[in-house]
Amino acid sequence: GCHLFKEFIHDIEQKKAVAPELSRLASFFQKDFWLHFDKEDLALFPELGNYIPRDAGPLQMMFIEHEELRNINELFQHALSDYLKGGDSPLTRETIRKAGMNFIGSLRSHINNENGMMFTLANAHLTQEQEDDIVRVFAQIEAGADKQI
């Protein structure tokens, strides 16, 4: 995933070769990708918030990282839209490169934090019943997203 994304943004000068894949990636990062964050924000984090503070520590960090990734994605999406519509300036290509690399770095860090911290906290605090409730909310979020497509 991230490796291919990195290749496409580095090869941005080869527009005919990379534009179709960048367009597919942009679509994924505009909609499908955020389902994961919605699941965390709307199901997992509220449940964990019963045990650890939402406005400090790991949960606060996750919310900050989600916002950071959304902001980076917005910049990336805007520049990529210009690029795909013919606005192929050096500034546009550089914005795509920088925003893309920033997104990759932030995403990798976020995944490491999730794996190292959030899953540990969830395993330590949540009962099976709470986990089942979270999975049900996940399914509702996915079903709602499917209806919007």
Q: Given this model, what pLDDT does residue 51 score? A: 93
149 residues of the chain, pLDDT tens digit each? 667 777 777 777 888 888 888 888 888 888 888 888 999 999 999 999 999 998 989 999 999 999 999 999 999 999 999 998 988 889 999 999 999 899 989 999 999 998 889 889 999 999 999 999 999 999 999 888 766 64
Structural domains of the chain ordered from first start: 2-148 (1.20.120.520)
Q: pTM of this prediction?
A: 0.82
Residue 12 CB neighbours (<10 A): 20
CB 141 within 8 A of CB 42: yes
- Nearest partner of 48 among 58, 33, 38, judged by Cα: 58
Residue 69 CB neighbours (<10 A): 20
